[in-house]
Amino acid sequence: MLNIKKISQLNELNSLKEAYFKASTSPLDGMWHFGFVPMAEHYGFYVNDDLVGFCCINSESYLLQFYLSETTQASSVDLFSLIINGNSAVIGEVKGAYVSTAEPQYLSLCLDNSSTLAVNALMYQYSNKESVIAENEITLSLAKDDQLEMLVDFAIEAIGAPQEWLTGYYANLIKRNELWYYSNGETIAATGECRHFDDYQTQYADLGMIVSPEHRGQGLATHVLNQLVMIAKKKGLKAICSTERSNIGAQKAINKAGFVAKNRIVQFEFVSE
């Protein structure tokens, strides 16, 4: 049986993470894998002293990533069963998992062991077709340091995100020149994110947007996405994005902007033996 140890330095996993992303069939969601995953607890799988795989589990006891190198995949079924049944003294309880349909090894293991499942989000890739809305395009402005508080207040009011988290998140985006906004007069009507990947999926840009409640249903979201796609293209990057399954309005806007939902993020629930 493989040994499981907690990982304190995530850079120990660099080569395995690279292999993990290469094994995916499509680009993985940026917010999940570069936003949520770094905050999760990571565990390494060892054969003697050789690190051959890893998993990570968030604060709610859900798996977010699971990987074993090709040389040890024969052990994946037993190891996965051990973990999800709470039989690892190192890891402890695991309630379920989040996994995309672009992660075949991890997805298959979840399907074999799940009690229930539900689609959490849709994952999109830009199809390179012409957008339905091509006239009267808006102009996005690049966010600056002195606009941080204003943009945080906008996002809190629009989507109710936690202020502390949002302040740090937006400050980092501004520092990286990845946060944009559209103002209607003196009022911010929408924000847009064109996030670059420092590692692994470096040929892609992950897009995000927020439209104020009073400006929704007017086509503004599609205009914002059109502009973000152009920003990505100028950088030589392919655009991807995602949205919750329940957000029908966002899905309509994303489709109109020329994106196709090729994959899903699925939430699994496990029942311990």
51 in helix, strand or coil? Answer: strand
pLDDT score of 73: 80
Q: How far apart are CA 90 and CA 245, in angstroms?
A: 34
pLDDT score of 130: 55
pLDDT score of 133: 45
Report, as ranges of residue numbers, the positions in the chain whose pLDDT lies below 50: 131-134
pLDDT score of 213: 93
Model pTM?
Answer: 0.90
pLDDT score of 273: 52
203-206: long-range pairs with CB below 8 Å, 24+ = 203/237, 203/238, 204/27, 204/30, 204/237, 204/238, 204/239, 204/240, 205/231, 205/232, 205/235, 205/237, 205/238, 205/239, 205/240, 206/29, 206/30, 206/31, 206/240, 206/241
pLDDT score of 136: 62
